[in-house]
Amino acid sequence: MYSTICVHTPAKTGASILMIYTGGTLGMAYDANGQLKPFDFGQILQNLPEIDRFDFTLTVIAFDNPIDSSNVTPNHWIEWAQIIEQNYTLYDGFVILHGTDTMAYSASALSFLLKGLNKPVIFTGAQLPIGSIRTDARENMITALEIASARNERNEPQMSEVCIYFHSRLLRGNRAKKVESTQFDAFYSENYPPLAEAGISIDFRPALMRPFVTEATLQVQNHMDDRVAILKIFPGISRYVVESILNIPDLQAVVLETYGSGNAPTDTWFTECLSKAIQRGIVILNVSQCLGGTVLQGRYSTSKHLLDIGVIGGGDITTEAAITKLMYLAGSGLSKTDWQPLLTTSICGEMS
């Protein structure tokens, strides 16, 4: 359940923004035991007097029970996508306040679910609660709202995709990863440059953004299938570990996290385990453990065996985007024969 709050309605409005407050460190405070606990959205607003200076209308949807992002599930992604769909014609842009731990997963998921998106959806949050003296919450929130309301010289949205704004950088949501837990620059995108950077002014880079499509029609997929898994390769990985994952009942797909440019052990048992899984209809997507670079199956002998048995190369996709893309495809109703061309090409900017 959630409540809708009209926060700010200036006399002359330039745009209308809907902000969705889901939870996260931004909206927390320390309790008597020194633990962070969520508080209501009204307390957040008390720490943001700058809102009264905006030239756009701001409405907030605040969930009655804010969640720690560690508890986010695909059901939350569906709910948020449906909220955007229900309010799509009423607002010019959307900002989602979210915890940092799973923000990259959520941004990736919504990038797939919101097909035909031609308005900005900006995720942001904070490393410190908004009531803390040195908090990063104010700058992140204020600039995310400014970006969501920004228009270009043709009066089109400056960007029309799902993004993460954090610590002065606007990143494509399905390219970002959380890379820091103790520094303010928590997110980075190794394989795709920032779409904008905020200093004294906000420097937008239109050439890097997905193009605005006037005639685009939003279509929201209302199901994701979570019968997926991640298998991370490590030196000494045992047959028991590999088989225990690949033999999960009704498993549909696996992200195989490999070394470097897609390399993995060449042990016969390992190849056989993967091959048998593929023959049973399990889709295996090869993604590099590296922050940057790309999977090039067949470049080395330690990846050619994967190519030969039908493992799909994931290119430069992140693990966060890969697992949510598999959930999206598994929930789409498409046959698995139709998955491969979609897994090896970009649907919404998630891979090169």
- Match 């900002």 to its residue by tokens: 95
Catalytic residue among 25, 102, 318, 319: 25
Question: Do 178 and 81 fall into the same domain?
Answer: yes
Question: Do 144 and 243 fall into the same domain?
Answer: no
Report the alpha-carbon distance of residue 97 to residue 38 in Å, rounded. Answer: 13
- Structurally, the chain folds into a number of domains equal to 2
Catalytic annotation present for 268: no
Q: Output the pLDDT for position 65.
A: 87
114 located within any domain: yes
Catalytic annotation present for 25: yes
**pLDDT tens series, the chain, 352 aa:** 788 888 777 766 678 999 999 998 887 776 667 666 666 666 677 777 888 888 889 999 988 888 899 999 999 999 999 999 999 999 999 999 999 999 999 999 999 999 999 999 999 999 998 888 899 999 999 999 999 999 999 999 999 999 999 999 999 999 999 999 999 999 999 999 999 999 999 999 999 999 999 889 999 999 999 999 999 999 999 999 999 999 999 999 999 999 999 999 999 999 999 999 999 999 999 999 999 989 999 999 999 999 999 999 999 999 999 999 999 999 999 999 999 999 999 999 999 9
101 is in an annotated binding site: yes
Question: Do 210 and 109 fall into the same domain?
Answer: yes
Degrees (nearest 5) of the Cα angle 223, 227, 229? Answer: 125
Question: Do 83 and 176 fall into the same domain?
Answer: yes
Q: Output the pLDDT for position 31.
A: 67
Q: Output the pLDDT for position 36.
A: 67
Question: Do 180 and 159 fall into the same domain?
Answer: yes
For residue 51, what are the CA distances in angstroms to 76, 96, 140, 165, 181? Answer: 27, 16, 13, 18, 28
Q: Output the pLDDT for position 211.
A: 94
Instruction: Give the pairing of strands 57-63 and 16-21.
Output: parallel
Catalytic residue among 22, 57, 59, 100: 100
Instruction: Give the pairing of strands 169-172 and 177-178.
Output: unpaired
Degrees (nearest 5) of the Cα angle 169, 174, 179? Answer: 55
Of the three residues 220, 247, 271, the one that is the final residue of a domain is: 220
197 located within any domain: yes
350 located within any domain: no
303 is in an annotated binding site: no
Question: Do 11 and 131 fall into the same domain?
Answer: yes
Write the CATH number for 310. Answer: 3.40.50.40
352 located within any domain: no
pTM summary value: 0.95
Domain with 277 in it: 228-343
Question: Do 248 and 176 fall into the same domain?
Answer: no
172 located within any domain: yes
100 is in an annotated binding site: yes
Instruction: Give the pairing of strands 312-313 and 219-220.
Output: unpaired
DSSP 108-144: HHHHHHEET--S-EEEE--SS-TTSTT-SHHHHHHHH
Question: Do 68 and 129 fall into the same domain?
Answer: yes
Q: Output the pLDDT for position 26.
A: 84
